[in-house]
Chain A
Amino acid sequence: MEPLTTRASRVVNKEMTFGEKIYLPAIFSGMWITLKHFFKKNNTVSYPEEKRPVAPIYRGQHVLKRDDEGRERCTACGLCAVACPAEAITMVAAEREKGEESLYREEKYASTYEINMLRCIFCGLCEEACPKEAIFLTDRLVDAEFGRNEFIYGKEKLVEKTDQRIDVSQRQIWDNH
């Protein structure tokens, strides 16, 4: 066939030289390579004792953030649920009552908020969609469980504890040259 472009280079050479035909040199050079690898640094990680460093923007288990005063940021706008291609997020909205100002930042909040971790594909679109800095993916991994129901994470697992803040500041740097 005529070449379609001027860039083609025929590369395959199937003729063997005498040295290649007797194949013993190839075997020994192969063994030499494997032998050298015995003395190289080990590339495996003994998880879970040892953990691989992950990027600050790793897309793992979600967190629902609180603001500086410890109030929940989520206002149950539902944008994350709309953005989710796996339809993993459900929530119920409620009005903030008098006296709850120290719990919720906005007048409306999510009384239940559930993510089904078996449906979730960790695409990060919910994080991208949230207009209230409320939901972020983190570098934690979702643990294994014994039952399917335990994978439906409610607010008790998702909302960060006031005494165990999760740092997401690295993820929020979008423009770092």
Chain B
Amino acid sequence: MSDLDLQNKKVAPFASSETIDGQIATLNLGPTHPATHGIFQNVLQIDGERILSAEQTIGYIHRAFEKLAEHRPYNQITPITDRLNYCSSPINNMGWHMTVEKLIGAEMPKRVDYMRVIVMELARIADHLVCNSVIGVDTGALTGFTYMFQEREKIYDIYEEICGARLTTNVGRIGGFDRDFNKTFITKLRTFLKEFPKNHDEFGSLLERNRIFMDRTIGAGPISAERALNYSFAGPNLRAAGVDYDVRVMKPYSSYEDFDFNIPVGNDGDTYDRFMVRQLEIKESLKIIHQALENLPEGDYHADIPSFYLPPKEEVYSSMEALIYHFKIVMGETPIPKGEVYHSVEGGNGELGYYLVSDGGRNPYRLHFRRPCFIYYQAYPEMIKGSLLSDAILTMSSMNVIAGELDA
């Protein structure tokens, strides 16, 4: 199509130069479309059902989190991280806490590490449950979704016992937890660990070896290991392509080196591989929680860092020294050292990194979130080119792109 043609309006401005049966159309998939999980826009050129090219737009729910965080004291940034990948906010919270602890050089007691591992693995299960049940929905199998969301509710009930919220958890503080696991937490967790595997297997038996589901997902939205690495994929989506990269094993944090678990990997990086990798990671996470719960060390639920961790409330009400520390910490007047740290955790859907530059002030000088969804979404046009429209939806849900994390 030449510019001249465009000027003379001989052809519609959106027509592509190459037509297969002369039926090329532009389709706006999104920004508000029931089949996209969040606010994404994709401008697709389609020939019938086949996608010729795709172009994605991001930023519909950009909230400038990095800049917002640069104007907040360190402890007030945790609620912001809740809203990145809101399917697994505890991982984001604790990743941030660990980043600051790395900057200030604080050592956590083993108990804090193990408590964090338990909550983070629960969050991973919740995240994977959402993704896998939604893959089911996009292939037309709505039933499994309702069963798995009941399980996710139970995980949220467990969160509620430790932090008081269900979705935007804001769990813990810099330096550990604000309260210890209580009895209800432990009881709920044990019941969950007992009942969940059965229900999860039931969900698996609905889809895993069902030919309709397999035919639908095998070969949909594949990406090779090489391309995935070039895009710097991480997490389940990279593992589905056959690379056994897992931050928990490669760069252990929070005592992950103490636990024995496997890394499930796939072969071709298609939707079925991603589904299966997540299914098995849920089982590995359960193994980790069991180990952490059985070996939960005794001790404090927070580190001994009085200039960063709030003193106990009873002391604040009665002692002057505690009150001064309390005021200083709440107002953000903590002795944050100058420096630059990068810390990454294995988030619900990939390597979630925090790059923090501090100039010693009360706010971070610069804070960057390495958000895995942002990276996956860059590869999306390449992955769906040449596939059918319905496979594009499936690819999106199987990559678990979360709008809150994509746009930050």
Contacts and interface: CB of A to CB of B under 8 A. Distances in A.
A16 interface: yes
B267 A10 contact: yes
B179 A175 contact: yes
B122 interface: no
Contacts of A9: 262-265
A174 B178 contact: yes
A46 interface: no
Given A55-B184, A58-B160, A23 B80 contact: no
A63 interface: no
Given A5-B244, A12-B266, A177-B180, A30 B206 contact: yes
A11 to B, nearest CB: 4
A57 interface: yes
Q: Which of A11, A30, A129 has the most CB of B within 10 A?
A: A11
A8 B263 contact: yes
B330 A4 contact: no
Contacts of B280: 11
Nearest to A175: B180
B210 interface: yes
Interface in A57-98: 57-59, 79, 82-83, 85-86
B210 A23 contact: yes
Interface stretch (A100-108, A117-125, A146-154, A155-163): A117-125
Contact of A85 (B80, B272, B326): B80
Nearest to B329: A129
A59 B180 contact: no
Interface in B125-177: 143, 147, 150, 153, 157, 160-161, 163-165, 168, 170
Given A83-B76, A85-B80, A5 B330 contact: no
A26 interface: yes
Contacts of A131: 316-317, 323, 326-327
Interface string B30-49: 00000000000000000000
A29 B205 contact: yes
Contact of B143 (A34, A57, A83): A34
A133 interface: yes
Contacts of B218: 14
A48 interface: no
A99 interface: no
A11 B264 contact: yes
B211 A21 contact: yes
B107 interface: no
B114 to A, nearest CB: 15
Contacts of B276: 11-12
B313 interface: yes
Nearest to A137: B164
B244 A3 contact: yes
B183 interface: yes
Contacts of B245: 4
A21 B215 CA distance: 10
Nearest to A58: B164
B250 A174 contact: no
A7 B72 contact: no
10 contacts: A4-B243, A7-B244, A14-B272, A16-B214, A55-B157, A55-B160, A85-B76, A124-B163, A125-B79, A125-B170
Interface of B: 72, 75-80, 143, 147, 150, 153, 157, 160-161, 163-165, 168, 170, 178-180, 182-184, 202, 205-206, 209-212, 214, 218, 225, 242-246, 249-250, 261-267, 272-273, 276-277, 280, 310, 312-313, 316-317, 323, 326-327, 330-331
Interface of A: 1, 3-5, 7-12, 14, 16, 20-23, 26-27, 29-30, 33-34, 37, 43, 54-55, 57-59, 79, 82-83, 85-86, 121-125, 128-129, 131-133, 137, 172, 174-177
Given A22-B211, A124-B163, A174-B178, 14 more contacts: A4-B243, A7-B261, A7-B262, A8-B264, A14-B214, A30-B143, A43-B150, A57-B163, A57-B164, A82-B330, A85-B77, A122-B168, A128-B178, A131-B327
